[in-house]
Structure 1
Amino acid sequence: MTNRQQSDRLDPATVIRAGLDLLDEKGLDAVSTRAVADRLGVRINTVQWHVKTKARMLDLMADAVLGEIPLTDLPAEPAERARELARRFRRGLLSHRDGAALVVGTYPAEPGTLAFAEALVEALLACGLGDREAAWTSWAVIYFALGLTQEEQAVDHRPLGDILARAISATTHPALHRVAGHLAPGSFDERFEFGVEAILAGR
């Protein structure tokens, strides 16, 4: 079968779906155009026909993750709408293994990403923010959600609490020692709500 015949059996959506399935099964480090080709039973050139490069494939995968975030049935009140969008963003990242690590490394100007960004910025503008404040607050919310979710998804592999306990004492780092119980991984839901509220309160 020629590469063109193989390509005709596929479409970009099928390639991206296979990439997301591979992500969920094996993690981001296992995702490549060759691995997706193997999963689909086609040649690597066939996958590249649709997505060109690994970087482009990851962009489209990240956009697909954001495209899964529901943008309907949102609260009418703008600040609560922004909070709910932030919650849905985090849930969308958590719905895929290494979802935050995937999205944080991409910047796709694609339909799913743009639709989510439009909804978040619109909510912030409706709160009365100026153009710059709405844009920068949206970045703050997204960066915070990505960072916290990336930590949450990696927590089993990074025993930060144990590392911190061994590294500090009341003598060497009194402030850190005092609050150490609140710095260890865990309570992600509460930390997320606190952080989003702090960002929006300072808008």
Structure 2
Amino acid sequence: MSKMKGTDRNAARRLALLWGLQPWSGRKSRADLSIEKIVSSAVDTADEAGLDALSMRRVAERLGVGTMTLYTYIPGKEELIDLMLDSVYGEMTRPANLPEGWRARLEQVARENWLLARRHPWILQVSTIRPPLGPNSIAKYDFELTAVAGIGLSEIEMDSIVDLVNGHVDHVARRWLDATQAERESGMTDEEWWELNGPLIRNIVDDAKFPTAARVGVATGEAYGAAYAPEHAFEFGLQRVLDGIEAFVERRQAELARKAERL
């Protein structure tokens, strides 16, 4: 039997932490500190300075305790990030009364994820290929699947559609984050960048050699006042993704109707 590698050895411990099933350390806890307080402080740190700036030491300093004190609550940074991600997933609105129709429900799912990424950009730096599987992560996934439940899709198709919608949000949010970082690092807004570069592009680019690029590039730059408009990309892309899903759902429902007629 092969040995379990890396973080796989700690899977049970990480799940226990996420679900609050057992303490990490047998040492006596402080009355003024808790896992929830540590996670909240870590989220604030990442919101302000980014995930690269997050460390157990920095969170401990923010809380006014020794770094080693945190390790009696949480084994390390990886487990802390799991807890942080699951915590912010709990912020997502999951109303009991859902909008009418799967399309409106999926749109709500997309908008909730978009808003979450804008509030906590550091989540875009966390790989969710192997998600933390905490209570809020599971609740989020269940809510998202509910958007396409009972419309004639298989379980695999339901999962794939939710993944497709969230993939669009993730892509646009990452582009938004890139634009935000470029603005911070350059000290120049997108509008200022376009005001500087737009006239140069129009003077340099040969309209005869690159007619389509010249026409479209200038038109979009003038429309957005920037090279890229995240809000437009999110809205336009979301509707096109939903259009494609609608065609797929209609085809599936038509297939089910034909099968019902043959019975």
1:49 and 2:72 aligned? yes
Q: Distance in 2 between matches of 1:175 and 1:127?
A: 42
Deviation at residue 54 of structure 1 after TM alignment: 0.9
Q: Pairwise mapping of residues 83-94 of structure 1 onto structure 2 (< 5 A)?
A: 83-94=107-118
The match for 2:90 among 67, 82, 87 is: 67
**Residues 145 and 172 of structure 1: CA distance in aligned 2, closer, same or farther (over 3 Å):** farther
Q: Distance in 2 between matches of 1:59 and 1:177?
A: 46
Q: Distance in 2 between matches of 1:15 and 1:36?
A: 7
Deviation at residue 31 of structure 1 after TM alignment: 1.0
Q: Is the 8 A contact 2:110 2:166 kept in 1?
A: yes
Q: Find the counterpart in structure 2 of residue 184 from structure 1.
A: 227
Q: Highest Rg: 1 or 2?
A: 2
Equivalent position SS for 1:74? coil
The more displaced of 39-48 and 62-71 is: 39-48
Equivalent position SS for 2:72? helix
**Residues 45 and 135 of structure 1: CA distance in aligned 2, closer, same or farther (over 3 Å):** same
Q: Find the counterpart in structure 1 of residue 13 from structure 2.
A: none
Q: TM-score, normalised by structure 2?
A: 0.64
Q: Pairwise mapping of residues 91-170 of structure 1 onto structure 2 (< 5 A)?
A: 91-96=115-120, 98-102=121-125, 104-106=126-128, 107-158=131-182, 169=205
Letter in 2 for 1:192: F
Q: Find the counterpart in structure 1 of residue 241 from structure 2.
A: 199
Task: For residues 64-98 of structure 1, give each alpha carbon's deviation from its aligned partner in whole angstroms, at most 9, with x where no partner exists.
Answer: 111100101431322201111110111122123x2
**Residue segments in structure 2 that go unaligned for 5+ positions in a row:** 1-25, 184-189, 246-263
**Residues 51 and 171 of structure 1: CA distance in aligned 2, closer, same or farther (over 3 Å):** farther
Q: Is the 8 A contact 1:78 1:123 kept in 2?
A: yes
Q: What do you get for the CA RMSD once the two structures are aligned?
A: 3.0
Equivalent position SS for 1:10? coil
Deviation at residue 6 of structure 1 after TM alignment: 5.5
The more displaced of 146-155 and 66-75 is: 146-155
Q: Distance in 2 between matches of 1:109 and 1:173?
A: 50
Q: Distance in 1 between matches of 2:212 and 2:35?
A: 52
The more displaced of 172-181 and 105-114 is: 172-181
Q: Is the 8 A contact 1:69 1:92 kept in 2?
A: yes
**Residues 4 and 126 of structure 1: CA distance in aligned 2, closer, same or farther (over 3 Å):** same
- Deviating beyond 6 angstroms after TM superposition, the runs of 4 or more aligned structure 1 residues are 159-162, 164-168
Task: For residues 128-171 of structure 1, give each alpha carbon's deviation from its aligned partner in whole angstroms, at most 9, with x where no partner exists.
Answer: 33222211121121122122112213313336876x97899457
Q: Percent identity?
A: 27
Letter in 1 for 2:241: I
Q: Distance in 2 between matches of 1:171 and 1:59?
A: 54
Give the paired residue count. Answer: 198
Q: TM-score, normalised by structure 1?
A: 0.81
Q: Distance in 2 between matches of 1:134 and 1:93?
A: 23
**Residue segments in structure 1 that go unaligned for 5+ positions in a row:** none
Letter in 2 for 1:94: R
**Residues 8 and 155 of structure 1: CA distance in aligned 2, closer, same or farther (over 3 Å):** same
Q: Distance in 1 between matches of 2:152 and 2:210?
A: 42
Higher helix share: 1
